[in-house]
Structure 1
Amino acid sequence: MRNQRRKGARRFSAGGVPGERRRCTSEVGEFIVGLTEAERAERYAMCLDLVRQLAVYCRRKAVKLPARSPNDLLDWVERGVRNKQGAWQLGRPEVDWIVEQMRQAYKTTLDGFEDLENLK
């Protein structure tokens, strides 16, 4: 009785398929785990746009709150970004990268370089 399939149930093979991404096969097709190159490029563009927005936001807040040191301001913005991680559907590595790039971009603007278009 335990080897019988339920009516309408599909067979599933947990065997891996060689390739770059982890995959599972079944009667219905192939399930790929992870991002495609197009999805990865889209997320990178989204994160880069967020870095630019945050650098501008930090600069605006620095003018409004001159009593705050640059490090205090960046820590404050970082906490805000980390608190919104779930709402923005960001993974931890993405948030870490965004925060690092935001700090670098903000410090670059403090040194008089305001070319955020060339941020990498």
Structure 2
Amino acid sequence: MELCRYLFERFKEAGVRHVFGLPGDFVLPLFRALEEEPGIEPVILTHEPAVGYAADAYARVQGLGVAAVTYGAGAGGQGHNPDRCDHSPRCLLNSDAAPWRRRSPSCEQITPVKENPC
């Protein structure tokens, strides 16, 4: 089973019916798969912080919010702030740059932040 299909099934089990995102370069395959997934609707936004805030609001109402963005500025600037102690469960899906596209060896994959650091 493809990883994205596995994730989509787990999201549905958790009650997720919408994934908020801003499609971009390396995360486009995830959005293509999401468009074909029955039971989960992609909600496309045009500003990275809006993606994080929408996922946060959804989590407060539905129980779990999912944000999907590309790597780099997309993942870093989308309102998913690990320093906030708001107790809203969110999942951040993001892509990693292909090795040949990385600017330097110091570029690392951005991993999901630990929730509720307080």
Normalised by the shorter chain, which TM-score bucket? under 0.3
Q: Name the one with the larger helix percent.
A: 1
TM-score (norm 1): 0.26
Q: Name the one with the larger strand percent.
A: 2
TM-score (norm 2): 0.26
- CA radius of gyration, larger in: 1
